[in-house]
Amino acid sequence: MNHHLVVCCVLACVWCQSALPQTMTVHTKNGQQPFVISEIDSITFSSGSANQVGEWVTVPAGEYTYGEGDTVRTLDYDFSIMKYEVTNAQYLQYLQEALASGEVTVSGSTVRGQYPGDAKWIAGIRDFYILGSNNSGLNKFGQINYVDNKFVLTPDNSYTNHPVVYVTWFGAWAYANHYNLRLPTEEEWEKAARGTTAYDYPWGNSITQGDANYSGSGDPYTDGTTPVGYYNGTAYGTFQTNNRPGPYGAYDLAGNAWEWTDSFFGGTSPTGRVLRGGSWYYGTTYLRTWYRISNGPAYGFSFYGFRCARTN
């Protein structure tokens, strides 16, 4: 029998521009199936520089398990998804390019740009990124700021390879659109995260320190993001990570930063977009492959990021 628990979260934190998503749907399930690692494909796209599109993995057409009840679904097309989350360095370069071309402007503490509209949001100028300086030393993540007419990464450039955060859904869409890519649907995201395994996490049904970046994970970046692909079996000093890709080779599908998807979140007139994967600020429950939250597309926090997809 399937069980639903709706958790209402109102968190006050120094990183938030406004309130967190007010509803989250929690799912419980049982069962497991064999786990198979597929080959990883490296893809270079003609649009954008190589470091902007990065490394990709191919997710083949076919069946996958979806949701709390492990419903078997089918995608009838191959697609590719970024092997890693978009980094601060990649997003900062995008902002520089977009500012130079007039695609974005800086208005106070936000980067803004034109959105063409969709079924729920009319065309107009939207917030893409929440600017600021993370110089307190309390939390270990990068934040882009605009100083002396240029974009800079705070607190320093040691966070260039960490996932970009404080990006809104509109800002994730804009990055993808700039490089002729797109955001994955939540169905594509879940297939990339679990394939046909029916696992709770990309690697199995249990999680421990060394598997992913979550609240209390104990890694050297506790209270912040880790570099993308950090949990790859490498020992960092005394902290040993386990190699934890998804079934098709993508990393950080559990933890580090929540990932915006292209999908709307339920209801008869939805306006929020689905986020998947959990983050450094959340416990292990939220990292499950089938766990969903949503928020409005103009919100950006220190634990919201994204990766891109492309139909092959």
Task: For residues 174 and 128, give the distance between their C-alpha atoms in angstroms, rounded to a whole number.
Answer: 7
- Report whether 258 contacts 305 (CB < 8 A): yes
Residue 123's contacts (CB-CB under 8 Å, 6 or more residues apart) are: 114, 115, 116, 117
Query: Between the CA of residue 274 and those of 15, 21, 93, 159, 278, what are the distances in Å?
Result: 20, 10, 26, 26, 12
Residue 49's contacts (CB-CB under 8 Å, 6 or more residues apart) are: 93
Q: Starting at the edge strand that comes first in sequence, how are the strands of the sheet with 104-107 ordered?
A: 104-107, 110-115, 124-130
- Report whether 146 contacts 130 (CB < 8 A): no
Helix/strand/coil percentages in the chain, nearest 5? 15, 30, 55
Sequential pLDDT tens for the chain (312 residues): 343 333 333 333 333 333 333 333 333 333 333 223 233 232 222 333 445 668 999 999 999 999 999 999 999 999 999 999 999 999 999 999 999 999 999 999 999 999 999 989 999 999 999 999 998 778 899 999 999 999 999 999 999 999 999 999 999 999 999 999 999 999 999 999 999 999 999 999 999 999 999 999 999 998 999 999 999 999 999 999 999 999 999 999 999 999 999 999 987 778 899 999 999 999 999 999 999 999 999 999 999 999 999 999
Task: Tell me whether the omega of the peptide bond preceding residue 21 falls within 30 degrees of 0, making it cis.
Answer: no
Domain range list for the chain? 1-312
Task: For residues 88 and 12, give the distance between their C-alpha atoms in angstroms, rounded to a whole number.
Answer: 25
Instruction: Please tell me the predicted confidence (pLDDT) of residue 137.
Output: 77
Task: For residues 44 and 50, give the distance between their C-alpha atoms in angstroms, rounded to a whole number.
Answer: 7
Q: Per the structure block, which two tokens stand in for 93?
A: 């370069």
Task: Of 122, 121, 124, give the one whose Cα is nearest residue 113.
Answer: 124
- Report whether 93 contacts 164 (CB < 8 A): no
**Residue 135 pairs with which residues in a beta bridge?**
none
**1-312: CATH number:** 3.90.1580.10
Q: Are strands 304-305 and 258-264 parallel, antiparallel or unpaired?
A: parallel
